[in-house]
């Protein structure tokens, strides 16, 4: 009789879990995701904040789900639905030559929510160096490479259209000003394949951002920036000689005045440090924070995200591969105005 009671209790618990996660199961067909959603809820999380992203007209969440590394091997697929339920409506991915199967793994979720999310992908346009002078033939070749990757992205995403496509990891202002690049974008836009043009940059970022603003062609820029200033991806450090973020405000305002929505990346990467240097500098940005931010129940990464959002950015892109990271980043993205303004 005791065994029968235990079996009955287990059955009732299982039915309850499936009922709680039924919406996820119905939307995704993923039983594991449904069970996890039943045991982990976003119901008590703070309400997401939104900003209109440049001249896109889209009211995007201040936290962008960075899908590239997170979905490259499918390791964070299960976080997509909870992220959406937490209010995240901007999803950024990248081409398969760099991010493996990330676009393919994002595709089912993006298709299910296509009319409610802003979908971004991106690709490199060849190997153009930061200081390289580019002639027409080189620009045309770069544009052709970028176009080929854009077509590949659409196939991987199983989509006819993305909301924005970026020049990824671009470091050369001449390439950003290239009419060959703009021609490829314009043709794709006319064909209904993409709506907006953007850049992502973590090298020579200031010159690239100003070049994008000068053209009037770009709607979005994803920039590597921290409270202490530009982040140098090659050095894995703050760019030597950079102004701090408040000192860069005029640059950011110039871009915003040109209709460019500003999305930060690598805002907390410097805090993680590097292995040979002993991993981590958690107090690297503390001098920029007021007392109420230091006393708040946030970790160093959360404070860095909240700070950049309060000082010139519309949103911050985060690589989230675990439930705890997702929760922490939602809290950070909704703390900017209370802690720093």
User: CA 56 to CA 66: how far, in whole Å?
Assistant: 19
| CA–CA–CA angle 53, 58, 59 (5° rounding) | 80
pLDDT at 309 over 50: yes
* Higher per-residue pLDDT: 233 or 255: 255
Instruction: Write phi, then psi, for 137 (nearest 5 degrees).
Output: -65, -40
pLDDT at 88 over 90: yes
Tokens (6 digits) for 98 = 């760099």
Q: What is the pLDDT of residue 330?
A: 98
Query: What does DSSP assign to residue 322?
Result: S
pTM, 2 dp: 0.88
Averaged pLDDT, 91-119: 98
The full set of domain ranges for the chain reads 1-39, 46-340
Q: What is the pLDDT of residue 6?
A: 38
pLDDT at 219 over 70: yes
- How much of the chain is in helix, strand and coil states, percent to nearest 5? 50, 15, 35
| CA–CA–CA angle 167, 151, 98 (5° rounding) | 55
CB 66 within 8 Å of CB 53: no
User: CA 169 to CA 50: how far, in whole Å?
Assistant: 26
pLDDT at 96 over 80: yes
Q: What are the residue ranges of helices labelled H in 164-298?
A: 173-176, 179-190, 205-215, 249-257, 269-272, 291-295
Least confident stretch, 67-71, 151-155, 277-281, 295-299 = 277-281
CATH assignment of 46-340, among 3.40.630.30, 3.40.50.1000, 3.20.20.100, 1.20.140.10: 3.20.20.100
């Amino acid at each position: 009789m005791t065994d029968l009671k235990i079996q009955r209790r287990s059955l009732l618990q299982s039915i309850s879990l499936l009922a709680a996660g039924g919406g996820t199961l119905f939307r995704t067909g993923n039983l594991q995701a449904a069970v996890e959603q039943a045991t982990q809820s976003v119901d008590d999380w703070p309400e997401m904040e939104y900003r209109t992203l440049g001249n896109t007209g889209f009211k995007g969440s201040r936290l962008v789900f960075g899908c590239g590394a997170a979905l490259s091997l499918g390791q964070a697929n299960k976080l997509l639905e909870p992220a959406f339920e937490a209010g995240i409506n901007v999803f950024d991915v990248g081409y398969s030559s760099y991010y493996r199967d990330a676009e393919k793994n994002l595709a089912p979720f993006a298709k299910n929510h296509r009319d409610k999310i802003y979908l971004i992908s991106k690709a490199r346009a060849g190997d153009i160096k930061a200081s390289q002078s580019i002639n027409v033939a080189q620009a045309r070749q770069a544009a052709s490479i970028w176009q080929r990757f854009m077509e590949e992205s659409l196939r991987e995403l199983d989509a006819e259209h993305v909301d924005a496509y970026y020049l990824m990891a671009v470091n050369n202002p001449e390439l950003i000003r290239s009419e060959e690049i703009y021609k490829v974008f314009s043709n794709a836009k006319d064909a209904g394949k993409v709506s907006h043009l953007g850049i992502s940059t973590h090298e020579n970022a200031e010159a690239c951002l100003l070049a994008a603003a000068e053209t009037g062609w770009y709607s979005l820029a994803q920039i590597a920036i921290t409270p202490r200033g530009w982040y140098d991806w090659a050095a894995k450090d703050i760019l030597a000689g950079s102004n701090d973020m408040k000192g860069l405000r005029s640059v950011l305002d110039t871009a915003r005045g040109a209709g460019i929505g500003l999305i930060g990346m690598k805002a907390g990467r410097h805090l993680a440090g590097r292995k040979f240097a002993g991993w981590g500098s958690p107090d690297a940005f503390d001098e920029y924070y007021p007392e109420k931010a230091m006393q708040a129940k946030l970790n160093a990464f959360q404070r860095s995200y909240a700070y950049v959002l309060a000082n010139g950015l519309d949103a911050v892109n985060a690589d989230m591969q675990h439930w705890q990271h997702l929760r922490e980043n939602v809290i950070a993205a909704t703390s900017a105005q209370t802690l720093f303004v």
